[in-house]
């Protein structure tokens, strides 16, 4: 019999580097008020230039299939993209769906990180908090789904 | 700020018009704030912003430092910088030496018989484009003939003529100048030097 | 009867378009996009998958505009897709990072992680529920409140589970061939038209955006004997997969620098098919191969049928139409097939006249000879 070896993500995972991958996961999966708050703060305190106002476009999804381990294109997903420049650093905001505001906010936050603004250090704590609540929410949803897990009973014949 | 819907579509209409009426000069106007620092003519970057996207590649031909412009184009349009023999678009900045342009002209893509569209489109900067001059244009989109005057040398025109010999293979050209004017010479256009041969 | 060039019909066409609007409006009912989105899951998923564009809002709009006609909605969405620039390509999506909402295996009872039924209509009685005729918002709220309360607020675990793929376990046991990771850049049928023989990536891309009915029918035909594939479903999983994009114009390969852009719902299927392998003339060995099926949204029938067709097309030597890639791939696209069929409604006055003329000619000939 094969043993249980699930990959899991842990609530006590914690700290570590707040790189772009992790940061964008939190800002997009979490409450969009967080991105708004960060971005509005930057817009108030720094001169910024909208290089590309939010626009719609496509992202082609590249996948790996599990039969032959090869790559193929699944299809496109609509995204909203915005670009903003702060201190000669162009930041990009990309998000699935039609979300002009969030795209712009993400672009501002991205350029803030690229320009190494001091605020970005102060955001870390808030981001970690939000990350935890996203994970809690996901675990809750998964727990609900696990109620539909089948408990097999072997029948005596 | 780039207004994709209004500016870029207006520029596209003008380019399309100029491409279908070779030799006819159009002026590109934009509402783009001039805070953007571009080290090329306005008509050049408007054309770039209109035609470039993540699916195309470009190559800049210049004797000066071009790293910044390459980076800027990539950041604004997502287009890829590529070697001259792979580039979908070739950009010639003003003041580039004739020899450098001739070398690029000799190695750029002209498509193949199955896919003639896989050819380079040239965006060539001039100080001034003049309607009426020493170059006689004829071909589709031109009634009888029309003449123009460009800054680029006769040998470059001859090199271009050399590369479009085998229609449908060839290159299409967009000429831009410092006064935001554009003029197009597609591969279907025949250019003859006044008082000379092709 | 000679050839007559005709024009006209402009006014009739305009009146017809008005009539179309009239038909949509005459019931005097407004259906909200968000109503379609939250109540027509299956329809939206199918439209997105066949249009090859993932965007539930626009799919709902297309359904509204098309008055529920699938082919029209798919056409609208496919057309809209062509007006948008393709900005990015995603990083390779691997489905072991899926947030699983449903996952079952027909091959093994005890799959690690268990059989997760999720939301499915598989176990419903298919009796019309007449109570839905009088469903109210209050009743919906009440049901939802009750459902919330049924569940305990405590978190039983601090871990989020990512379910491993069933085939991975079997590969580890050596029952399935382990294929080397193949990073050949995939082809793209939206950029280059299909040519035969097609590559595997072209086949999968064509199948995944095939019309649900067409893919299902051909898969079924193969099962019934017009094909040589009869699989056992190894795993069906439905859930959300995260999508990442590499930063443009940055040369770092570091995935930690990627942009997360959101997630999409997909259905993925691996079917196990026993195949006889002939190793050295005498010895026949039985081995399993995998058919792969996938599509946007939750559409299990289509994904399973696709996995059958994928396996069929991997074996072109069988002399059935379902193993012929030209036959399968060129006829399953919704826009292509409905477009070609409906073009028959366009005026063919001239071609038909010439056909009539030939028939008349032949008949005259026959009559003459009969005299």
Domains of chain A, residue spans: 20-129
Report the candidate in C365, C270, C362 with the shortest Cα–Cα distance to residue C308: C270
pLDDT exceeds cutoff 60 at B35: no
What structural domains and CATH numbers belong to chain B?
4-128+159-188 (3.40.50.11310)
Radius of gyration of chain A (CA): 20
pLDDT exceeds cutoff 90 at C24: yes
For chain A, give the percent of residues with pLDDT over 70. Answer: 89
Q: Are residues C300 and C327 both part of a single domain?
A: yes
At C149-197, the pLDDT tens digits run 887 667 667 788 899 888 888 888 777 888 899 999 999 999 988 999 9
C90 occurs within a structural domain? no
3-class SS at C239? strand
* Residue A101, phi-psi category: left (phi > 0), alpha (psi -120 to 50), beta (remainder): alpha
C108 occurs within a structural domain? yes
Distance between terminal CA atoms of chain C?
A: 26
C320 occurs within a structural domain? yes
Inspect the interface and report whether the beta carbons of C256 and A17 lie closer than 8 Å: yes
Closest CB to A149 among C114, C180, C190: C114
Q: Are residues C165 and C298 both part of a single domain?
A: yes
Strands B172-177 and B146-149: unpaired
Among A5-19, B55-69, B139-153, C166-180, the least confident range? A5-19
A80: chain C residues, CB-CB within 8 Å: none
Predicted local confidence at residue C286, as pLDDT: 79
Closest residue in chain A to residue C293, using alpha carbons only: A65
Q: Where are the alpha helices (DSSP H) in A9-116?
A: 20-29, 32-45, 100-114
| Smallest Cα distance from C161 to chain A, Å | 5
CA distance C333 to C335: 6
pLDDT exceeds cutoff 50 at A1: no
- The chain-wide mean pLDDT, for chain A, equals 89
| Smallest Cα distance from C94 to chain A, Å | 6
- The chain-wide mean pLDDT, for chain C, equals 92
Q: Is C80 or B197 the better-scoring residue by pLDDT?
A: C80
**Mean pLDDT for the stretch of residues B131-139:** 93
**Mean pLDDT for the stretch of residues A57-67:** 96
Inspect the interface and report whether the beta carbons of B53 and C248 lie closer than 8 Å: no
At A31-46, the pLDDT tens digits run 999 999 999 999 999 9
pLDDT exceeds cutoff 70 at C4: no
- pLDDT band of residue A2 (cuts 50, 70, 90) is very low
B71: chain C residues, CB-CB within 8 Å: 249
pLDDT exceeds cutoff 90 at B100: yes
Q: Which subunits sit against B, judged by 3+ Cβ pairs under 8 A? A: A, C
Q: Is B149 or C109 the better-scoring residue by pLDDT?
A: B149
Q: Are residues C115 and C261 both part of a single domain?
A: yes
Among B58-62, C148-152, C312-316, the least confident range? C148-152
Q: Are residues C66 and C151 both part of a single domain?
A: no
At C318-353, the pLDDT tens digits run 899 999 999 999 999 999 999 999 999 988 888 888
At C215-240, the pLDDT tens digits run 999 999 999 999 888 899 999 999 99
Q: Are residues C66 and C169 both part of a single domain?
A: no
Inspect the interface and report whether the beta carbons of A68 and C200 lie closer than 8 Å: yes
3-class SS at C180? coil
Q: Are residues C29 and C56 both part of a single domain?
A: yes
pTM for this structure? 0.89
Predicted local confidence at residue A4, as pLDDT: 40
For chain B, give the percent of residues with pLDDT over 70. Answer: 92
Predicted local confidence at residue A10, as pLDDT: 54
The count of other CB atoms within 10 Å of the CB of residue C274 is 12
Tell which of A51, A80, A88 to mutate to test the B interface (max B CBs under 10 Å): A51
Q: Is C185 or B198 the better-scoring residue by pLDDT?
A: C185
**C258 φ, ψ to 5°?**
-65, 160
| Smallest Cα distance from C82 to chain B, Å | 14
Predicted local confidence at residue B32, as pLDDT: 61
pLDDT exceeds cutoff 60 at C1: no
At B102-125, the pLDDT tens digits run 999 999 999 999 999 999 999 999
Inspect the interface and report whether the beta carbons of C88 and B55 lie closer than 8 Å: no
Query: Is A145 in CB contact (< 8 Å) with chain C?
Result: yes
Predicted local confidence at residue C290, as pLDDT: 94
Closest residue in chain B to residue C191, using alpha carbons only: B55
- pLDDT band of residue A135 (cuts 50, 70, 90) is very high
Q: Are residues C62 and C177 both part of a single domain?
A: no
Inspect the interface and report whether the beta carbons of A51 and B35 lie closer than 8 Å: no
Contact by Cβ (8 Å): B46, B27: no
**Residue C228 belongs to what domain range?**
95-120+133-339
What is chain C's percent helix, strand, coil content, to nearest 5?
45, 20, 35
Predicted local confidence at residue C204, as pLDDT: 98
- pLDDT band of residue C277 (cuts 50, 70, 90) is confident
Q: Are residues C144 and C246 both part of a single domain?
A: yes
At C96-150, the pLDDT tens digits run 899 999 999 998 888 888 899 999 999 999 999 999 999 999 999 999 999 988 8
Torsion angle of C-alpha atoms C68, C71, C15, C25, degrees rounded to 10 = 10
pLDDT exceeds cutoff 80 at B182: yes
| Smallest Cα distance from C360 to chain B, Å | 43
How many domains, chain C? 2
């Amino acid at each position: 019999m094969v043993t249980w070896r699930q990959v899991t993500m842990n609530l006590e995972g914690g700290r570590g580097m707040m790189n772009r991958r992790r940061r964008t996961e939190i800002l997009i999966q979490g409450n969009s008020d967080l991105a708004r708050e960060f971005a509005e703060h930057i817009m108030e305190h720094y001169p910024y230039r909208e290089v590309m106002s939010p626009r719609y476009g496509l992202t082609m999804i590249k996948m790996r299939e599990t039969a032959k381990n090869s790559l193929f294109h699944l299809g496109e997903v609509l995204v909203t993209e915005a670009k903003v420049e702060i201190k000669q650093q162009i930041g990009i905001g990309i998000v699935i769906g039609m979300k002009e505001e969030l795209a712009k906010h993400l672009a501002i936050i991205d350029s803030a990180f690229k320009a190494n603004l001091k605020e970005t250090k102060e955001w870390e704590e808030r981001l970690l908090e939000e990350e935890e609540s996203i994970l809690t929410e996901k675990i809750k949803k998964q727990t609900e789904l696990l109620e539909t897990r089948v408990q097999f009973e072997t029948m005596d014949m | 700020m780039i207004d994709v819907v209004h500016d870029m579509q207006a520029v596209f209409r003008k380019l399309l018009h100029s491409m279908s009426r070779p030799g006819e000069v159009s002026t590109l106007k934009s509402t783009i704030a001039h805070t953007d620092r571009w080290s090329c003519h306005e008509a050049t970057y408007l054309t770039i912003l209109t035609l470039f996207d993540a699916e195309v590649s470009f190559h800049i031909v210049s004797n000066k430092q071009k790293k910044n412009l390459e980076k800027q184009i990539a950041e604004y349009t997502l287009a890829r910088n590529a070697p001259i023999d792979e580039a979908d678009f070739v950009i010639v900045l003003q003041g580039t030496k004739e020899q450098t342009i001739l070398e690029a002209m000799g190695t750029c893509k002209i498509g193949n018989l199955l896919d003639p569209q896989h050819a380079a489109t040239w965006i060539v900067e001039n100080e001034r484009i003049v309607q009426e001059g020493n170059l006689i244009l004829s071909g589709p989109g031109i009634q009888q003939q029309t003449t123009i005057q460009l800054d680029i040398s006769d040998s470059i025109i001859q090199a271009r003529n050399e590369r479009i010999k085998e229609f449908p293979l060839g290159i299409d050209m967009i000429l831009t100048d410092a006064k935001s004017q554009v003029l197009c010479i597609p591969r279907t256009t025949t250019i003859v030097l006044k008082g000379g041969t092709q | 009867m000679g050839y007559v060039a005709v024009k006209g019909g402009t006014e009739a066409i305009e009146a017809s378009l008005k009539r179309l609007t009239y038909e949509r409006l005459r019931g005097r009912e407004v259906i909200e996009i968000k109503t379609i989105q939250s109540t027509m899951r299956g329809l939206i998923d199918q439209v997105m998958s066949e249009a090859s564009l993932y965007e539930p809002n626009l799919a709902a709009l297309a359904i509204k505009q098309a008055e529920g006609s699938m082919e029209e909605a798919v056409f609208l969405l496919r057309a809209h897709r062509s007006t948008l620039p393709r900005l990015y390509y995603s990083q390779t999506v691997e489905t072991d990072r899926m947030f699983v909402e449903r996952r079952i295996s027909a091959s093994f009872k005890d799959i690690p992680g268990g059989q997760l039924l999720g939301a499915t209509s598989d176990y419903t009685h298919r009796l019309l529920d007449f109570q839905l005729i009088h469903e109210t918002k209050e009743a919906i709220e009440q049901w939802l409140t009750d459902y919330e309360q049924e569940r305990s607020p405590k978190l039983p675990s601090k871990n989020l589970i990512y379910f491993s793929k069933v085939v991975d376990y079997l590969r580890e046991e050596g029952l399935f061939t382990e294929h080397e990771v193949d990073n050949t850049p995939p082809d793209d049928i939206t950029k280059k038209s299909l040519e035969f023989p097609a590559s595997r990536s072209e086949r999968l891309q064509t199948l995944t955006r095939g019309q649900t009915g067409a893919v299902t029918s051909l898969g079924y035909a193969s099962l019934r004997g017009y094909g040589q594939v009869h699989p056992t479903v190894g795993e069906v999983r439905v859930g959300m997969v995260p999508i990442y994009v590499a930063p443009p114009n940055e040369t770092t390969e570091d995935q930690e620098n990627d942009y997360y852009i959101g997630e999409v719902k997909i259905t993925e299927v691996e079917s196990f098919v026993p195949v006889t392998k002939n190793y050295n003339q005498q010895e026949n060995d039985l081995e399993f191969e995998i058919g792969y099926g996938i599509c946007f949204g939750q559409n299990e029938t289509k994904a399973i049928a696709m996995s059958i067709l994928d396996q069929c097309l991997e074996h072109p030597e069988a002399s059935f139409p379902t193993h012929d890639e030209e036959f399968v791939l060129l006829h399953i696209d919704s826009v292509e097939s409905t477009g070609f069929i409906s073009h028959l409604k366009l005026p063919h006055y001239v071609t038909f006249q010439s056909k009539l003329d030939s028939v008349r000619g032949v008949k005259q000939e026959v009559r003459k000879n009969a005299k």
